[in-house]
């Protein structure tokens, strides 16, 4: 049996902001799966050339969408437009990630994030996420996991 492919995958070139130095290029993959309609996943490729090591973060699709136009998020994931102009638009978006292991600040091309989000909305429109979730099945799975 082959693994099911996510509905939307997009590679994005990020810049890791390094205080006192030039930003470092980082390749990441954005992933959206209608089986998890409220979430987006960002997977960072770590290690050297040819390495398959990856670090994945999952957060709300709405957080990413809101962060294109205004600062949003608290805690582990925050997203905001970088250096907006007089009209409030920006060509880059900042994504700050925090964990007990450390903190990282990335800048991403706004257009790449917008195109990814538009593709996710083509799969599951904004506001229709609940129609993709079978609550009875999810509750059953949670209860079965709790018993075992």
Q: Which strands sit side by side in the sheet containing 77-82, from one edge to the other?
A: 54-60, 39-45, 24-32, 8-16, 102-109, 92-99, 77-82
Q: Residue 99, CB half-sphere, CA atoms under 13 Å: how many?
A: 7
Q: Is residue 1's pLDDT more than 60? A: no
pLDDT digits (tens, 9 = 90+) for 51-85: 677 889 999 999 999 999 999 999 899 999 998 66
- SS3 for 68? coil
The pLDDT confidence band at residue 130, using thresholds 50, 70 and 90, is confident
What is the reported pTM? 0.81
Q: State how far the alpha carbon of 148 is from the alpha carbons of 39, 87, 143, 145, in Å.
A: 27, 55, 9, 5
- Which of 83, 42, 84, 44 is CA-nearest to residue 59? 42
Its sign, for the CA torsion 127, 110, 94, 100, is positive
The structure tokens listed for 84 are 């907006």
CATH architecture of 8-147: Roll (2.30)
User: How far is Cα 122 from Cα 9, in angstroms, rounded to an integer?
Assistant: 13
3-state secondary structure labels for all residues of 69-112: CCCECCCCEEEEEECCCCCCCCCEEEEEEEECCEEEEEEEEHHH
């Amino acid at each position: 049996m082959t693994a099911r492919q996510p509905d939307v995958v997009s590679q994005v070139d990020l810049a890791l902001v390094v205080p006192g130095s030039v930003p470092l290029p980082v390749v990441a993959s954005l992933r959206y799966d209608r089986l998890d309609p409220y979430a987006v996943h960002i997977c960072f490729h770590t290690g050297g050339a040819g390495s398959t090591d990856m670090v994945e973060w999952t957060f709300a699709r709405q957080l990413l969408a809101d962060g294109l136009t205004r600062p949003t998020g608290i805690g582990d994931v925050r997203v905001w437009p970088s250096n907006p102009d007089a009209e409030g638009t920006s060509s880059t978006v900042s994504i700050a990630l925090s964990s007990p292991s450390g903190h990282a600040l990335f800048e991403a091309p706004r257009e790449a994030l917008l195109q990814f989000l538009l593709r996710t909305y083509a799969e599951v429109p904004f506001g229709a996420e609940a129609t993709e979730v079978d609550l009875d099945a999810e509750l059953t799975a949670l209860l079965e996991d709790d018993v075992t």
